[in-house]
Amino acid sequence: MLAIMIGVTACATPAMQSNVSETVEQQILDAARSGSQGYLIVEGLTTEVGQRLAGTEAEARARDWTVEKFKEIGLQNVRVEPFTIPGWERGVETATIVSPYPQQMVVTALGGSVATPFGGVTAEIAYFPTFEDLVSAPAGGLDGKIVFISGLMDKAPDGAGYGPANQKRRSGASEAAKRGAAAVVIRSVGTDSHRFPHTGQMRYAPDLPKIPIAALSAPDANQLERMFEREHSVTMALNIQPRASGDMPSGNVIGEIVGTERPDEIVLISGHLDSWDLGTGAIDDGAGIGISAGAAQVLIEAGLKPKRTIRVVAYGAEEVGLLGGFAYRDLHKEDLINHVLATESDFGSTPAYEVLLGVTEGQEVIKAAADALGLPMGERGTNGGPDIGPIAALGVPTMRFQQDGTDYFDLHHTPDDTLDKIDPDDMAENVAAFALMAWLAANAETDFRSDTGN
Amino acid sequence: MLAIMIGVTACATPAMQSNVSETVEQQILDAARSGSQGYLIVEGLTTEVGQRLAGTEAEARARDWTVEKFKEIGLQNVRVEPFTIPGWERGVETATIVSPYPQQMVVTALGGSVATPFGGVTAEIAYFPTFEDLVSAPAGGLDGKIVFISGLMDKAPDGAGYGPANQKRRSGASEAAKRGAAAVVIRSVGTDSHRFPHTGQMRYAPDLPKIPIAALSAPDANQLERMFEREHSVTMALNIQPRASGDMPSGNVIGEIVGTERPDEIVLISGHLDSWDLGTGAIDDGAGIGISAGAAQVLIEAGLKPKRTIRVVAYGAEEVGLLGGFAYRDLHKEDLINHVLATESDFGSTPAYEVLLGVTEGQEVIKAAADALGLPMGERGTNGGPDIGPIAALGVPTMRFQQDGTDYFDLHHTPDDTLDKIDPDDMAENVAAFALMAWLAANAETDFRSDTGN
């Protein structure tokens, strides 16, 4: 026994100064870190399905693929919980500077945007360096114009720049419509300087005209700004022809490791299955599917039987408004009281640098997992992830591994979101974190559900 | 005088241990390095014209722009030497995997390719990991198939990986046609992993069927390879609709600083004005236009009068087969004997790391320039650059600043070849090199023309 302890001590990494018992937990970490369970899942999904736009037949194929994969890795109770969403699909999209410097730009429609009139709209551009400049512009004065909203996004590990930069994507169309504009182009919400536009969902405010909105790549936004440095009047022809395709099927794919002692109590780990249509949805969010399902696979392969049920959810239709997350909330409303802990990976494939708490009870279990992984606890709280938000709002306890998203928005929602951007070792580390956390939460004697929750 | 000499010594950089006289030459280097002549030219060209595909009205606008710019910076004898080229323009281009994993890929037609039949060609793919694999394949066996040629390109400062990797682009269509194929897709010739295809000129061998050829982005080529790891049969629908647009105008734009003592003797510095149509041609070759014209501008602004004539040439139609270079050779055939030295910048905007000789006489002048710039002499010879090749072959002495092209093929011939990829300081250093070299060559007492030349 002494010899074994010495051996363990000699092999221990700095991350292993923990009070986690070293037998099963270390076995989980080792199996995940030396395996490629998560990477192979995202590799399969992105290769064999590719893009998976919500509501399309591609997303349906992704559900079929995931059902098969979940069964293959040994999950139980594999099923799809279907729901219906408003479909939207991309069409022709072109942006041309007509004058003073005729040239094509690289553009993509934002999700949910209406089309321009057939053949497009040609108009003078009204340039706003930032979204705030548009919001503070007086009513009127933009009649019939194409509004261009620029503004840079800051890089940050936690993606803190996304919210502010995203205002123009979310609300740019209605703010411009309010002032009479005919259409909007924005500088892509992103942190790269490649000639890719970033798509993403937009929203129309009620009671305002719906006008088309599209995103230019960063180099094209720079180009437009240089034109405005030279000339007061720049005219663009914008033609985007996306279409609303009516009610379309989506669904959440679910699989479980049924608990041995408290099977009704759920530890939920998840990612989202749908992607935008420009890339193959590798970092957003094939990675999250691989991380959560791969974590379950590690436990199954090790023959480990958790006391509570570990549920893996592959949410549908996240990109278009967390529709899978809301559908889950609605379908499981009566059952949410049994959700002990929930989390999601939806921030790429790089490993976590801190752990965030969305619980008041049972923090010691999450801290033990963080210790075992060598991760500090973060200061901020969490709602567990985008699709967890709706159930977190009703009291489901959550935690989150805060993955390093410094470079996430270089790729996010672009054609460049492809498998080659994922490091298999990163995936393995994330799988280790999810497997360990799920295991500890499923077996913890303490509960995460406070009396005031639910 | 002593005080001045001390001042110069104190300010000298390590690069300045030279036998170049320090008055005028140092003035040139200082003016170029502290200026932005070259950067402003490429900024203007890429912004105010954008892409400049050979033979299009965009290239014609680029000639107009360049004539105006050359006049504005004070060049003399500004003129266009027109010639005619076979036009080619891009049309619709899509590549879809039909089975087993339906999805779109990102594809672009190679320059000069014929179109697929209207509506495209759908066929099983024959996969060749390298061009050599195709070349060693037996006759027949590819009847009606779409050939996919993969193969990676090595990164190197001197771009040594380009030639080998480029064989599939240049000759892939005819090698496949020889064996009965219906069409070809290649892994883009490039060193990046972004979802951009690289275009570039292809060639048809005489007496073989002309079949369409297009390039997939690197992530898409990876994706296809992963499909072949899983399945023996992969079917693609390829639709590219470029068209040959008949005889179209192109031209070389020329401007000069006329020599004071030997005005008939020419020192030629150059870049090429045309670009591919996907990006805005910033590094290829707006940079070369900025470097060569910016160098002349530095001399003009300093009021310096060279003894020989310094001629700036902005070649047209380089990308489609060095057609401007050949047109120059033909038009100036009788006059080539008067070309004392010629060079071109066509390898991006990063500074040189060595200097290459394409002369036997007058090497000491070029070495003095290299010394003053802190650059070593390279081992290899040079033909002075792509558009200089045709006159070098007839005996015109050449040299070349070997720019660092390690990352050049990340951007080359892609949509991502945009101004933001250029560092203004890099441009200034290149302008310094060109200005100094042109000045020294134009004033050298020794000649570069050997008796055996021409």
- Residue of B52, B194, B217, B417 to mutate when probing chain A, most A C-beta within 10 A: B194
Cα–Cα nearest to A39, from A314, A295, A325: A295
Cα A55 from chain centre = 17
Task: Give the integer Cα–Cα distance in Å for A123 and A184.
Answer: 11
Write the residue in A219, A230, A418 that is nearest to B418 by C-beta: A219
Total beta-carbon pairs less than 8 A apart between chain A and chain B? 97
**Chain B residues lying within 8 Å of A51, measured CB to CB:** 103-104
**Chain A residues lying within 8 Å of B58, measured CB to CB:** 102-103
**Are residues B218 and A420, on separate chains, in Cβ contact within 8 Å?**
yes
**Are residues B47 and A418, on separate chains, in Cβ contact within 8 Å?**
no
Pairing of strands A213-216, A183-187: parallel
Put the strands of the sheet holding A352-358 in their side by side order: A76-89, A243-257, A308-315, A262-272, A339-344, A398-403, A352-358, A377-381
B261-289 burial code (b ≥16 CB/10 A, e <16): eeeebbbbbbbbbbbbbbbbbbbbbbbbb
Min CA distance, A101 vs chain B (Å)?
A: 5
- Residue of A51, A150, A194 to mutate when probing chain B, most B C-beta within 10 A: A194
Minimum Cα–Cα distance from B92: chain A residue: A92
Cα–Cα nearest to B175, from B124, B126, B219: B126
* CB neighbours of residue A98 within 10 Å: 14
Write the residue in A193, A230, A418 that is nearest to B219 by C-beta: A418
- Supply the pLDDT for residue B449: 85
**Are residues B280 and A418, on separate chains, in Cβ contact within 8 Å?**
no
**Are residues A50 and B104, on separate chains, in Cβ contact within 8 Å?**
yes
Q: Which ranges in B302-347 belong to alpha helices (H)?
A: 323-331
**Chain B residues lying within 8 Å of A196, measured CB to CB:** 194-195
Min CA distance, A267 vs chain B (Å)?
A: 33
Minimum Cα–Cα distance from B44: chain A residue: A226
Write the residue in A47, A58, A420 that is nearest to B193 by C-beta: A420
**Chain B residues lying within 8 Å of A49, measured CB to CB:** 101, 103
B399 and B382 in contact (C-beta within 8 Å)? yes
Min CA distance, A230 vs chain B (Å)?
A: 9
**Are residues B420 and A104, on separate chains, in Cβ contact within 8 Å?**
no
**Are residues A43 and B193, on separate chains, in Cβ contact within 8 Å?**
no
B339 and B403 in contact (C-beta within 8 Å)? no
Q: Which residues of B are catalytic?
A: 318
Minimum Cα–Cα distance from A101: chain B residue: B48
- Supply the pLDDT for residue A21: 56
* CB neighbours of residue B5 within 10 Å: 10
Put the strands of the sheet holding B103-105 in their side by side order: B103-105, B93-99, B235-240, B121-128, B146-149, B183-187, B213-216, B107-109
CA atoms within 13 A on the CB side of B166: 14
A293 and A431 in contact (C-beta within 8 Å)? no
**Chain A residues lying within 8 Å of B103, measured CB to CB:** 49-51, 58, 280
A419 and A301 in contact (C-beta within 8 Å)? no
The one-letter amino acid code at B102 reads P
Strand partners, B126: B147
Q: State yes or no: cis peptide before A100, omega within 30 of 0.
A: yes
Task: Give the integer Cα–Cα distance in Å for A443 and B448.
Answer: 84
Any B CB within 8 A of A201 CB: no
Q: For residue B408, what is the enclosing H or E element?
A: helix B408-411
**Are residues A418 and B101, on separate chains, in Cβ contact within 8 Å?**
no
- Supply the pLDDT for residue B116: 98
Cα–Cα nearest to A315, from A267, A265, A408, A385: A385
Any A CB within 8 A of B318 CB: no
What three-state secondary structure class fits A264?
strand
Q: List the pLDDT tens digit at each of the 454 positions of chain A.
A: 333 333 233 333 444 444 555 689 999 999 999 999 999 999 999 999 999 999 999 999 999 999 999 999 999 999 999 999 999 999 999 999 999 999 999 999 999 999 999 999 999 999 999 999 999 999 888 999 999 999 999 999 999 999 999 999 999 999 999 999 999 999 999 999 999 999 999 999 999 999 999 999 999 999 999 999 999 899 999 999 999 999 999 999 999 999 999 999 999 999 999 999 999 999 999 999 999 999 999 999 999 999 999 999 999 999 999 999 999 999 999 999 999 999 999 999 999 999 999 998 999 999 999 999 999 999 999 999 999 999 999 999 999 999 999 999 999 999 999 999 999 999 999 999 999 999 999 999 988 887 544 3
**Are residues A47 and B101, on separate chains, in Cβ contact within 8 Å?**
yes
pLDDT tens digits, B385-395: 999 999 999 99
Name every residue whose Cβ is closer than 8 Å to that of residue A346 and which is 6 or more positions away in sequence. A271, A272, A284, A285, A288, A318, A385, A386, A387
Residue-wise DSSP of A203-231: -PPTTS----EEEE-HHHHHHHHHHHHH-
**Are residues A104 and B51, on separate chains, in Cβ contact within 8 Å?**
yes
Min CA distance, B164 vs chain A (Å)?
A: 24
Any A CB within 8 A of B199 CB: no
**Are residues B194 and A193, on separate chains, in Cβ contact within 8 Å?**
no
Any B CB within 8 A of A377 CB: no
Q: Is A124 exposed, middle or buried (0-12, 13-18, 19+ CB in 10 A)?
A: middle
Any B CB within 8 A of A243 CB: no
pLDDT tens digits, B224-245: 999 999 998 999 999 999 999 9
Taking each helix axis from N to C terminus, what angle separates B424-443 and B24-33, rounded to the nearest 10 degrees? 160
Any A CB within 8 A of B421 CB: yes
Cα–Cα nearest to B42, from B276, B318, B280: B280
- Residue of A39, A45, A48, A234 to mutate when probing chain B, most B C-beta within 10 A: A48
Of chain B, the percentage scoring pLDDT greater than 90 comes to: 91
Question: Two tokens at A156?
Answer: 């940050």
Cα A67 from chain centre = 20
Name every residue whose Cβ is closer than 8 Å to that of residue A232 and which is 6 or more positions away in sequence. none
Any B CB within 8 A of A416 CB: yes
Those residues of chain B that have pLDDT short of 70 are 1-22, 451-454
Name every residue whose Cβ is closer than 8 Å to that of residue A371 and which is 6 or more positions away in sequence. A17, A18, A19, A20
**Chain B residues lying within 8 Å of A58, measured CB to CB:** 102-103
Any B CB within 8 A of A64 CB: no
Any B CB within 8 A of A224 CB: no
**Are residues B219 and A419, on separate chains, in Cβ contact within 8 Å?**
yes
A414 and A197 in contact (C-beta within 8 Å)? yes
For chain B, domains (ranges, CATH) are: 2-12+19-86+247-443 (3.40.630.10), 91-241 (3.50.30.30)
A415 and A275 in contact (C-beta within 8 Å)? no
Residue A451 has φ and ψ, to the nearest 5°, of -65, -30
Pairing of strands B243-257, B76-89: antiparallel
Any B CB within 8 A of A103 CB: yes
Radius of gyration of chain B (CA): 23
- Residue of B47, B150, B414, B423 to mutate when probing chain A, most A C-beta within 10 A: B47
Name every residue whose Cβ is closer than 8 Å to that of residue B57 and which is 6 or more positions away in sequence. none
- Please report the sign of the dihedral spanned by the C-alpha atoms of residue B418, residue B423, residue B428, residue B431: negative
pLDDT tens digits, B275-320: 999 999 999 999 999 999 999 999 999 999 999 999 999 999 999 9
Residue-wise DSSP of B367-402: HHHHHHHT-PEEEEE--SSTTTHHHHTTT--EEEEE
**Chain B residues lying within 8 Å of A61, measured CB to CB:** 102
**Chain A residues lying within 8 Å of B280, measured CB to CB:** 103, 219, 223
A109 and A76 in contact (C-beta within 8 Å)? no
Choosing from A318, A319, A344, A429, the catalytic residue is A318
Q: For residue B41, what is the enclosing H or E element?
A: helix B37-48
- Supply the pLDDT for residue B439: 98
- Residue of A39, A45, A47, A199 to mutate when probing chain B, most B C-beta within 10 A: A47
Cα–Cα nearest to A188, from A254, A80, A278: A278
DSSP B114: P
Any A CB within 8 A of B195 CB: yes
